[in-house]
Amino acid sequence: MQQAIPEIKVDIDACYLSNPLATDLFWSYFNADVLADPELFKRMLEAYPSQNSAIAERLSSAIGANADSLFIANGATEAIQAVIHNFSSHIHINTPTFSPYYEFAGPDTRVTQFQLAPSNNFAVDPEEYVNSVLRSGADTAVLISPNNPDGHLIPDTDLEWILSKLSMLETIIVDESFIHFAERSKPAGELPTLTGITDQFDNVTVVKSMSKDFGIAGIRAGYAIMPPKRVAQLLNHGYLWNTSGMAEYFFSLFDRSDFSSRYLRELATYKTFISKFTASTSQFDFVQAFDTSANFQLMKMPEQVSAEVAAALLLLRHGIYTRSCGDKIGLDGEYLRVAIRTESENAKVLSAITDILG
């Protein structure tokens, strides 16, 4: 945006969804490793990275999946595209949703929808959802938990019930890209994940972006867990060597226990920022701020207020870049999605929203 309109100054990017504390953590490790080994960055540029299967082998224990079930991707969107293009002819999505799930569908791929209701906080009713999938005749169902753009988390019991009722489908994609921000029971010292469901249901593919929780969108890193025969098929059709040297470096960090321990501490701190932000927006009487289990919040604009105008005013008056959701299929009305950032940035965002809309 700033390249297209240099006059606009973005002080706070509340459109991009990431944990800024994790970005700083990655940067501190990278700087320390380069200082200890000045040739490290040069090798990343000059040398070929490892092949997909080699990275999967190193990461399998950290992720909690067998190496032959692990597909390393150049960002989660590559994994999404690979699954849809190779294993799906008819996908059933919830709307609103993350747009690549319908944008990446090819001309011969049918897309049907299950509409989520803002009056129910965009919750997925398990029985209604299963009936919708079965009526559609789809071979692939997509569930994002927490969902983008509304942040709703499907409770584990509901998710497992849905998966048990859809065991006849060819594929169920469960996207857990925002799961680190959700409050879920887990053993101490472990990252939140839905990875274990792939052991229970052999038609489930778990997709995970690393951009949101680790704040590294620029290096494109993600993965998917799926049946080994599907991983092998993808590796034989163009995905053998699909990550960069920088992405491989990040994956090597992800496998280090010291990095994981520090990341968990930073995540805990960041989640307090999320809680404080949502506690503040819950007191707003001029916008409807939906409950969220992610690191962003969806807000419905007051009557007669355009989300595009509100986003423009936040940018022009306060230098805060937010996401107007007018192009989101299945989201009728005027909605703004606001990313939750650092404590100081959040205070400025809350003040600006109050100034523009309060």
| 211-258 pLDDT per residue, tens | 999 999 999 999 999 999 999 999 998 898 899 999 999 999 998 999
Q: Indicate if the pLDDT at residue 122 is higher than 90.
A: yes
In this structure, the answer to whether residues 201 and 137 fall within a common structural domain is yes
Residue in the structure block whose two tokens are 């704040």: 215
DSSP structure class, residue 109: -
Last residue of a domain, one of 230, 256, 282: 256
In this structure, the answer to whether residues 164 and 76 fall within a common structural domain is yes
Q: What confidence score (pLDDT) does residue 192 get?
A: 66
Bigger pLDDT: 106 vs 16: 16
Element (H, E) at 95: strand 90-95
Which residues contact residue 254 at a Cβ distance below 8 angstroms, ignoring those fewer than 6 apart? 59, 62, 210, 214, 260
Mean pLDDT of all residues in 159-165: 96
Confidence of residue 153 (pLDDT cuts 50, 70, 90): very high
Confidence of residue 191 (pLDDT cuts 50, 70, 90): low
Spatial separation of the C-alpha atoms in residues 81 and 70, rounded to whole Å: 16
Q: Which span out of 195-209, 235-249, 305-319 was modeled with the highest average pLDDT?
A: 305-319
In this structure, the answer to whether residues 65 and 190 fall within a common structural domain is yes
- Residue 93 belongs to some domain of the structure: yes
In this structure, the answer to whether residues 266 and 279 fall within a common structural domain is yes
Prior bond of 192 cis (ω within 30°): no
Q: What confidence score (pLDDT) does residue 195 get?
A: 80
Prior bond of 96 cis (ω within 30°): yes
Mean pLDDT of all residues in 105-121: 95
List beta partners, residue 310: none
Confidence of residue 1 (pLDDT cuts 50, 70, 90): low
Handedness of CA 49, 53, 261, 149 (dihedral sign): positive
Give the global pTM: 0.93
Instruction: Please report how the helices 245-254 and 52-63 are oriented relative to each other, as an axis angle in degrees rounded to 10.
Output: 20
- Residue 227 belongs to some domain of the structure: yes
Could you tell me the CATH number of the domain that includes residue 212?
3.40.640.10
List beta partners, residue 225: 70, 206
Confidence of residue 193 (pLDDT cuts 50, 70, 90): confident
In this structure, the answer to whether residues 264 and 208 fall within a common structural domain is no
Q: Indicate if the pLDDT at residue 93 is higher than 60.
A: yes
Amino acid at 8: I
Could you tell me the CATH number of the domain that includes residue 320?
3.90.1150.10
Which residues contact residue 228 at a Cβ distance below 8 angstroms, ignoring those fewer than 6 apart? 66, 68, 69
Number of domains in the chain: 2
Confidence of residue 183 (pLDDT cuts 50, 70, 90): confident
In this structure, the answer to whether residues 144 and 100 fall within a common structural domain is yes
pLDDT more than 70, % of the chain: 96
Minimal CA–CA distance to 138: which of 108, 111, 104, 159? 111
Across the chain, mean pLDDT equals 93
Q: Which domain holds residue 66?
A: 49-256
Mean pLDDT of all residues in 120-149: 97
In this structure, the answer to whether residues 280 and 142 fall within a common structural domain is no
In this structure, the answer to whether residues 281 and 186 fall within a common structural domain is no
In this structure, the answer to whether residues 233 and 315 fall within a common structural domain is no
Spatial separation of the C-alpha atoms in residues 65 and 63, rounded to whole Å: 6
Spatial separation of the C-alpha atoms in residues 222 and 219, rounded to whole Å: 10
Last residue of a domain, one of 231, 256, 281: 256
Residue in the structure block whose two tokens are 């065991």: 167
- Residue 31 belongs to some domain of the structure: no
Confidence of residue 358 (pLDDT cuts 50, 70, 90): confident
Q: pLDDT (tens digit, 9 = 90+) per residue, 10-38?
A: 899 999 999 999 999 999 999 999 999 99
In this structure, the answer to whether residues 252 and 263 fall within a common structural domain is no
Instruction: Please report how the helices 156-165 and 126-136 are oriented relative to each other, as an axis angle in degrees rounded to 10.
Output: 30
Query: How many other C-beta atoms are found inside a 10 Å radius of the C-beta of residue 170?
Result: 13
Q: What confidence score (pLDDT) does residue 179 get?
A: 94
Spatial separation of the C-alpha atoms in residues 352 and 297, rounded to whole Å: 15
Q: Indicate if the pLDDT at residue 337 is higher than 60.
A: yes
Confidence of residue 188 (pLDDT cuts 50, 70, 90): low
pLDDT more than 90, % of the chain: 86
DSSP structure class, residue 51: P
Report residue 196 as tokens.
């274990």
Contact assessment for residue 343 and residue 35, using Cβ atoms and an 8 Å cutoff: no
In the sheet that holds 288-289, the strands lie side by side as: 288-289, 296-300, 335-339, 323-324
Instruction: To the nearest 10°, report the CA torsion of 127, 130, 131, 136.
Output: 160
